[in-house]
Amino acid sequence: MNRRNVWASYDRKRTKEAYDFAEDYKVFLDSSKTERECIDTIVNEIEEQGYRELGPIIRAKGSLKAGDKVYAVWMNKTIVMFQLGTDPLEKGMNILGAHIDSPRLDVKQNPLFEDSGLAYFDTHYYGGIKKYLYVTLPLALHGVVVRKDGSTAILNVGEDADDPVFFISDLLIHLSQEQMQKKAAEVVEGEALDLVVGHRAFVVEGKKDEAEERDDTLTAGQVYALENERQEAASAKKVSGAVRRGILAILKDEYDIEEEDFISAELEIVPAGKARDAGFDRSMVLAYGQDDRVCAFPSMRALENAGELTRTGCCILVDKEEIGSVGATGMRSRFFENTLAELMALTGEYSELALRRCLANSAMLSSDVSAAYDPGFASAFEKKNACVMGQGMVFNKFTGSRGKSGSNDANAEYIAHLRNVLAREDVIFQTAELGRVDLGGGGTIAYILALYGMNVIDSGVAVLNMHAPWEATSKADLYETYRGYLAFLRGVTITNE
Q: What is the pLDDT of residues 359-380, one digit of tens each?
A: 999 999 999 999 999 999 999 9
Q: What tens digit of pLDDT does each residue of 449-464 get?
A: 999 999 999 999 999 9
Mean pLDDT of 268-280: 98
* Residue 400 banded pLDDT, cuts 50, 70, 90: confident
From the list 284, 294, 270, the residue with the least C-alpha distance to 468 is 270
Mean pLDDT of 81-98: 98
DSSP assignment, residue 397?
A: S
| pLDDT, position 1 | 75
- CA atoms lying within 13 Å on the CB side of residue 429: 29
Query: Domains (ranges, CATH) in the chain?
Result: 6-102+288-491 (3.40.630.10), 107-176+186-204+240-271 (2.30.250.10)
* Residue 241 banded pLDDT, cuts 50, 70, 90: confident
pTM, entire model = 0.92
209 has pLDDT over 60 = no
**Cα 387 → chain centroid:** 22
* Residue 210 banded pLDDT, cuts 50, 70, 90: very low
Tell me the C-alpha distance between 306 and 297, whole Å: 14
| pLDDT, position 407 | 80
Q: What's the mean pLDDT when you consider all of the chain? A: 93
Can you point out the beta strands (E) in 17-130? 52-53, 69-74, 78-83, 93-99, 104-115, 118-126
165 has pLDDT over 80 = yes
Q: What tens digit of pLDDT does each residue of 53-64 get?
A: 999 999 999 999
DSSP assignment, residue 9?
A: H
